[in-house]
Chains A and B, each alone.
Chain A
Amino acid sequence: MAKRIDVSGLTAYYGSHKAIEDISMTVEPRSVTAFIGPSGCGKSTFLRTLNRMHEVTPGGRVEGKVLLDAEDLYGAGVDPVSVRREVGMVFQRPNPFPTMSIFDNVAAGLRLNGNYKKSELNDIVEKSLKGANLWNEVKDRLNKPGSGLSGGQQQRLCIARAIAVEPKVLLMDEPCSALDPISTLAIEDLIGELKDRFTIVIVTHNMQQAARVSDRTAFFNLAAVGQPGRLVEIDDTERIFSNPSVQATEDYISGRFG
């Protein structure tokens, strides 16, 4: 179910501006990989190239290869819409559909993908909300609007929405940066549970968070101001935080710059 991501020689542009350059890495299935690095170093851009959300931005384009198991996401004839059905995404700010109920939010992706019977929808919605540790808080008000939940609950609702369609990979773009510490803890616990089923990639500015939730950590940085972002190193999280092989990584995580 979960799939491996193989990126080789990936360069992404916004128009003529080169945002990230020549990134290669492998993400193992059923693992959590954290992307860290200073603001503007291209972590989020890189994350968005993994489900082709990057090209939604006008002028966004990509060179290089992203393989999901053996399938090239940027191959000729590959529909970005079907890529995004395989690679789910959770955003920085919780973004449940404001005009939909909690139930409809979770069912939204399913309704796009095909016809489900009412009973099937009920089962999947319940399973997804349980998977996102939200079921007990919302089971009595599934028909209320999702925008009435707290920020942390909304973010878990978005996770439930993303996992309802059973993606192979789950991308998270700073999912806790708009949340309080308790909600953050709830999401981090959830990530630990979800990695049994999904390949997870998470961008975070919080280095303790990267250390807590991830198996592997990738450090991104700009070569210099105005240069495109690049991958400095990727390694086991424990090693990155104890004994990184590149000096720049150690400087960053020990707070000497960035």
Chain B
Amino acid sequence: MDISTTTDVPPSASPPSLTERKRAARGATRPGDRIFLGLSRGSGILLLVIMAAIAVFLTYRASLAISRDHGNFLTTFEWNTNLTPPSFGIAVLAFGTIVSSVIAMVIAVPVAVAIALFLTHYAPRRLSGPIAYVIDLLAAVPSIVYGLWGALILVPHLRGLYGWLDTYFGWTGILSWEEGAPRTMLAVGILLAIMILPIITNVSREVFRQVPRMHEEAALALGATRWEVVRMSVLPFGRSGVISASMLGLGRALGETMAVATVLSPDYDIHASLLNPGGGTFAQNIASKFGEASEQGRDALIASGLVLFVITLLVNGAARAIIARRKEYSGANA
């Protein structure tokens, strides 16, 4: 608005300006309100500034690296940042990150939803408390501990599973096994599934617990069995919450570093079979190469980090779109 002209005119001489009328409508402000307003507005702005700073930093350093890249940043199957000119591409990392996260989601989401339903709708109360507590504990285990457990306990025990998969599904190509150590994408996916299970379970449980009693009674009164109540009332009501929960889990799986680096035996290639070692993920690649990388190498790793950032944003956007598409049918309208 044209503030400079309105503030120049004395208030008494003219009808109240727009800003004055706005101020009058807001009423007298108390110091407490003003302080709180300042704090909350400041926090909001700070968040935006931090996000912008991260984006600017990543984009700037990444653009330096990409402009020097002699290979194709998206399709080159190598990561040689010490050559002049350097040659590197993210295809292998993108593939490994997405494949391991998808495996983790495929395993973790159904199990987590089933656990959450069991805790909220089937388990007796004296059982559901302790189980929920154990799941919370699972969330508190540091990821390096998961990594050690995965490398020392899980991986050796996967030989049986790998052999079985190879026997029955080896013909598909993606599940054939050459008897190597099972430190592969499938092992990473399984470990990630265990790691993201608690968060998906906990958020889903909270959502299922908030299903209004009256929706469940509506189904019960029609002669629904317990499973039918879950299907008619609980799952539809919790749908968007489960999607959000899964996205939280997926975010963790996409960015998981130490556990992947500990379990995976990486190389810089894409392998058709999930049971053969090799591949890599963005976070694992950054963690294992950052230490001895040159300035140029660091910029390249930052560029790969930027891609991970973009993938995460896309995934979140997709999830929001899925939730928004069926908004008028959402449980929140009840």
Is there a chain A Cβ closer than 8 Å to B12's Cβ? Answer: no
A-contact 0/1 string along B218-238, CB 8 Å cutoff: 111111110010001100110
Q: Is the CB of B237 within 8 A of A98?
A: yes
- B220: chain A residues within 8 A (beta carbon): 53, 56, 84
Is there a chain A Cβ closer than 8 Å to B5's Cβ? Answer: no
B-contact 0/1 string along A71-104, CB 8 Å cutoff: 0000000000111110011010101111111000
Q: Is the CB of A98 within 8 A of B217?
A: no
Q: Is the CB of B331 within 8 A of A99?
A: yes
By beta carbon, the residue of chain B nearest A101 is B329
Is there a chain B Cβ closer than 8 Å to A145's Cβ? Answer: yes
Is there a chain A Cβ closer than 8 Å to B8's Cβ? Answer: no
- Please give the distance in Å from A190's CB to the nearest CB on chain B: 18
- A95: chain B residues within 8 A (beta carbon): 212, 214-215, 217-218, 334
Most buried by B among A81, A113, A162: A81
Q: Is the CB of A84 within 8 A of B237?
A: no
By beta carbon, the residue of chain A nearest B221 is A89
Q: Is the CB of A165 within 8 A of B223?
A: yes
- B232: chain A residues within 8 A (beta carbon): 97, 108, 112
By beta carbon, the residue of chain B nearest A148 is B328
By beta carbon, the residue of chain B nearest A86 is B223
A-contact 0/1 string along B316-333, CB 8 Å cutoff: 000000000000111111
- B159: chain A residues within 8 A (beta carbon): none
- Please give the distance in Å from A57's CB to the nearest CB on chain B: 10
- Please give the distance in Å from A41's CB to the nearest CB on chain B: 21
- B215: chain A residues within 8 A (beta carbon): 95, 97-98
B-contact 0/1 string along A133-155, CB 8 Å cutoff: 00000000000110110000000
Is there a chain A Cβ closer than 8 Å to B252's Cβ? Answer: no
Interface of B is mostly: helix
- Please give the distance in Å from B242's CB to the nearest CB on chain A: 13
Is there a chain A Cβ closer than 8 Å to B271's Cβ? Answer: no
Alpha-carbon gap, A203 to B334, bound state (A): 24
By beta carbon, the residue of chain B nearest A144 is B328
Q: Is the CB of A147 within 8 A of B334?
A: yes
Alpha-carbon gap, A99 to B236, bound state (A): 6
Q: Is the CB of B223 within 8 A of A98?
A: no
Is there a chain B Cβ closer than 8 Å to A43's Cβ? Answer: no
Alpha-carbon gap, A56 to B125, bound state (A): 15
Is there a chain A Cβ closer than 8 Å to B239's Cβ? Answer: yes
The answer, among A58, A81, A108, A145, for a CB contact under 8 Å with B329, is A145
- Please give the distance in Å from A111's CB to the nearest CB on chain B: 9
- B222: chain A residues within 8 A (beta carbon): 84-85, 88, 108-109, 112, 161-162, 165
Q: Is the CB of A97 within 8 A of B236?
A: yes
Q: Is the CB of A162 within 8 A of B221?
A: yes
- A82: chain B residues within 8 A (beta carbon): 223
Given the contacts A95-B215, A145-B333, A88 and B221 also touching, CB distance less than 8 Å: yes
Is there a chain B Cβ closer than 8 Å to A51's Cβ? Answer: yes
- A147: chain B residues within 8 A (beta carbon): 328, 333-334
Q: Is the CB of A99 within 8 A of B214?
A: no
- Please give the distance in Å from A168's CB to the nearest CB on chain B: 12
The answer, among B125, B224, B329, B332, for a CB contact under 8 Å with A112, is B224
Given the contacts A91-B214, A112-B228, A145-B328, A98 and B221 also touching, CB distance less than 8 Å: no
19 A-B residue pairs with CB within 8 Å = A53-B221, A56-B217, A82-B223, A84-B220, A93-B214, A95-B334, A97-B215, A98-B215, A98-B329, A98-B330, A98-B331, A98-B332, A98-B333, A99-B236, A99-B329, A100-B329, A109-B222, A148-B328, A162-B221
- List the interface of chain B (C-beta within 8 A of A): 125, 212, 214-215, 217-225, 228, 232-233, 236-237, 239, 328-334
